[in-house]
Amino acid sequence: MLRLSIGAVLAATTALPAMAEMNFNRISSFPVMMNAQDTAQETSAEIIAVSSDGMTLVYTDSPAGRVGMIDIADPENPQPKGVLDMAGEPTSVVVIGQTAYIGVNTSESYTETSGVLHAVDLGTGKEVATCDLGGQPDSVAVAKDGSFVTVAIENERDEDLGDGGLGQMPAGFVVKLPLTEAGVDCSGLEKIEMTGLADIGGDDPEPEFVDVNALGEIVVTMQENNHLVVIGADGRVLNHFSAGTVDLDGIDTHKDGKLEFTGSLRDVPREPDAVKWISDDAFAIANEGDWHGGSRGFSIFNKDGTLVYDSGNSFERAVAAIGHFPDKRAGKKGVEPESVEFGVFDGTPLLFIGSERGSVVGVYDVTDASQPVLLQLLPSGIGPEGYVAITSRNLLVSANETDARADGNAPAHVMIFERSAKPASYPMITSQGTDPLTGWGALSGLVAGDAPGMIYAVADSFYSAAPRIFTIDASSHPAKITGAVNITRDGAAAQLLDLEGITRDGEGGFWLASEGRSDRMIPHGLIHVNAEGEIIEQIGLPEGLAHAEKRFGFEGIAKDGNRLWMPVQREWADDAAGMVKLVCYDLEREEWGGVSYPLDAKGDGWVGLSELTIHGEYAYLIERDNQIADAAKIKKITRVALADMDPAPLDGPLPVVAKQDVRDLIPVLKSTGGYVVDKVEGLAIAEDGRAYIVTDNDGVDDSSGETLFFDIGQIDQ
């Protein structure tokens, strides 16, 4: 097997800046099922905290009714540290020293609410105190001087009752619990009423998140009430005001299988979720939104009610530029900012805004709170819910609540990022700077252009309502999508395409391979487009192929003289076990043929082909399994000599070609510090032999949304 070291791959992919800049890069990912005795059980990591020494993470796992612990003495190699059963649903956790304070929902129903605060010694795992909170807790926060714990008692509404709106008793409130040298003083619980403050549902306040500044003041978000409350150190309401509304332009508001950032929303309530003080006077809120299309950004307020900053559409558009926009949520809350964290790293105040549906976190410099500067967007795992900044160790940690194994994706993970002078490794590809903004995702096929570093790409059926050919400048770091050509039929967007491969036709146009989904009326076949993307020819499957057709069809296309070659992803009905077809169409003779390609033996799941490209005397292919994370075993590039690809008629036995392993891609995929993703879908090889690979991010649907794009160096060395 021909190999290239990861060091060489990264050296080819990144270049050190002239002056060292501080960046966050992911250094490890911890699957929280490692803390489960039954690894098949659904797991989650929602709210996360860290011990005072920065060595132990504690996260809530509400589906399992427990909290888990992770040893991060070596943050590049986190280790399971066990779980603690909570006898209820843990909703939030904070840590003081080695004591964790955990809010636990024990409610019997939406109307019979109850909850407790557990104080647990992390060293022994023993419960040292339990306080009855008198209602259903959500967020827990602690005073910076360790003098008290505060809890938002949400007493949340039943979203399935009526129209899901407010006016569902009992009302929520906030509590303060004093901390002494002996521990939490349950008898000193102070109840702070929120009723009657908000203009929206004032009789049914639902406190969502709390945070405490250095003055001992508590800020409270009431998402459904669209209201903000500041409680003084004396426990009295110091100020309260509406979170207000936003007008948004240049956003995608329709779940329609295409990415168009031309929509508008007016008077959208911010409806904040998480909140963090960034100084003793100002705090930041993540505007998750709940109704009216979602407000999709974040804001900074002064505690006197003055709006210091609002992100407008900028956060959502920044997320879209790196391919993380969740089109299926476009008509609801868009990228759905939900989480906020804050920390001062080497004197620089940094604000972290987490997008739950986009599965990223934005890193902002808030030295000037009125003009936050977006420094980075980090890949945060599926459904990030909580973050913790460990400034003493230059670490940021994300907790990702979604266990997507039932959908063939990854389990819930905790991810660790380190701030250092190393170049930022993510994003690997972006459309930032295009005007109008080019939305993209689910990249599925590549081909090299004439100019050095020029790549063309297509996306699969996730965006079948508006298929496009993207132009990528791979010489830039990150690689940049510089434009896109719409694929049209009779002047309108071509529908019912599942594009999985692209190759140049030698005349300025392209041949495209459509995989086909008969259950969705998407035909298998070949599509010829001109330079403007207009379909000028479409070729369906011959009977010799169509009779054995299955869902998993053509997964690439390459041109060799007058021949087009297409790999079939998996076995069709007439294939021997472990064999798939490499199908040939002769453009001059208009004849079909093929050869058989032997797949590696299967482990779990299936093994198939994802791409074919031709360089020199070989056809290069991507062979992969459909496994993810630690279960992934086969992600590689192979090659077959063109001289051996002598196609036989499809109505008879096909000759079996010999393959050679060229490159193991699993080490490349692991180099990001994340788990190994499933779909290595695209391979392009430039004329000089330089090779590029890309992964399909599934349109950020039950996926981490990550698109990994690697320059893997010379393929023929």
For residue 576, CA distances in Å to 155, 202, 599, 656 come to 60, 68, 11, 11
Flag whether pLDDT at 638 surpasses 80. Answer: yes
Residue pair 692/709 in contact (Cβ under 8 Å)? The answer is yes
Tokens representing 455? 């790549």
CA atoms 683, 686, 687, 690: torsion sign: negative
Contacts of 674 (CB under 8 A, 6+ apart): 26, 29, 379, 381, 413, 415, 704, 706
pLDDT score recorded for residue 507: 96
Tokens representing 281? 């006077």
DSSP strands (E only) in 316-434: 337-345, 348-355, 360-365, 373-379, 384-390, 395-400, 413-420, 429-430
pLDDT score recorded for residue 464: 81
Location of structure tokens 């990854």: 410
Q: Which tens digit of pLDDT belongs to each residue from 500-545?
A: 999 999 999 999 999 976 666 677 899 999 999 999 999 999 888 8
Tokens representing 239? 């100020």
Helical segments of 425-504, H only: none
DSSP state of 544: H
pLDDT score recorded for residue 521: 61
> Which three-class secondary structure state does DSSP give residue 295?
coil
Residue pair 555/611 in contact (Cβ under 8 Å)? The answer is yes
Q: Cα–Cα distance between 200 and 433 in angstroms, integer?
A: 40
pLDDT score recorded for residue 518: 66
Phi, psi of 55, deg, nearest 5 = -105, -15
Confidence of residue 158 (pLDDT cuts 50, 70, 90): confident
Q: Has domain 430-714 been given CATH number 3.30.70?
A: no
Confidence of residue 664 (pLDDT cuts 50, 70, 90): very high
pLDDT score recorded for residue 7: 37
Q: Given 3-state DSSP classes, what are the helix, strand and coil percentages for the chain, each rounded to the nearest 5?
A: 10, 45, 50
- For 520: left if phi > 0, alpha if psi spans -120 to 50, otherwise beta; the answer is alpha
Residue pair 578/598 in contact (Cβ under 8 Å)? The answer is yes
pLDDT score recorded for residue 117: 98
Total residue length of the chain: 717
pLDDT score recorded for residue 519: 65
Flag whether pLDDT at 248 surpasses 90. Answer: yes
Location of structure tokens 């999985």: 500
pLDDT score recorded for residue 627: 94
Q: Cα–Cα distance between 472 and 417 in angstroms, integer?
A: 28
Q: Which tens digit of pLDDT belongs to each residue from 387-435?
A: 999 999 999 999 999 888 887 788 899 999 999 999 999 999 999 999 9
pLDDT score recorded for residue 527: 96
3-state secondary structure 101-143: EEEEECCCCCCCCCEEEEEEECCCCCEEEEEECCCCEEEEEEC
- For 294: left if phi > 0, alpha if psi spans -120 to 50, otherwise beta; the answer is left
Flag whether pLDDT at 1 surpasses 70. Answer: no
Confidence of residue 14 (pLDDT cuts 50, 70, 90): very low
User: Which one is predicted more confidently, 18 or 334?
Assistant: 334
pLDDT score recorded for residue 38: 76
Confidence of residue 41 (pLDDT cuts 50, 70, 90): confident
User: Which one is predicted more confidently, 524 or 622?
Assistant: 622
Q: Which tens digit of pLDDT belongs to each residue from 666-694?
A: 999 999 999 999 999 999 999 999 999 99
Residue pair 138/150 in contact (Cβ under 8 Å)? The answer is no
pLDDT score recorded for residue 13: 37
Q: Which tens digit of pLDDT belongs to each residue from 338-387?
A: 999 999 999 999 999 999 999 999 999 999 999 999 999 999 999 999 99
Flag whether pLDDT at 9 surpasses 70. Answer: no
Flag whether pLDDT at 22 surpasses 90. Answer: yes
Q: Which tens digit of pLDDT belongs to each residue from 439-476?
A: 999 999 999 999 999 999 999 988 888 899 999 999 99
Flag whether pLDDT at 17 surpasses 70. Answer: no
Calculate what percentage of the chain has a pLDDT beyond 70: 96
Location of structure tokens 């070596």: 74
For residue 88, CA distances in Å to 5, 66, 85, 173 come to 49, 8, 8, 20
pLDDT score recorded for residue 4: 35
> Which three-class secondary structure state does DSSP give residue 13?
helix
Mean pLDDT, rounded, for 578-598? 97
Q: Which residues pair with 137 in a beta bridge?
A: 153
Contacts of 233 (CB under 8 A, 6+ apart): 215, 216, 217
pLDDT score recorded for residue 547: 86
Mean pLDDT, rounded, for 175-203? 96
Question: Count of CB atoms within 10 A of residue 267's CB?
Answer: 10
Location of structure tokens 């299955």: 550
3-state secondary structure 443-458: EEEEEECCCCCEEEEE
Among 65-74, 158-167, 276-285, name the one with the lowest average pLDDT.
158-167
Average pLDDT of the chain? Answer: 93
Mean pLDDT, rounded, for 642-654? 95
State the Rg of the chain over Cα.
27
Flag whether pLDDT at 18 surpasses 50. Answer: no
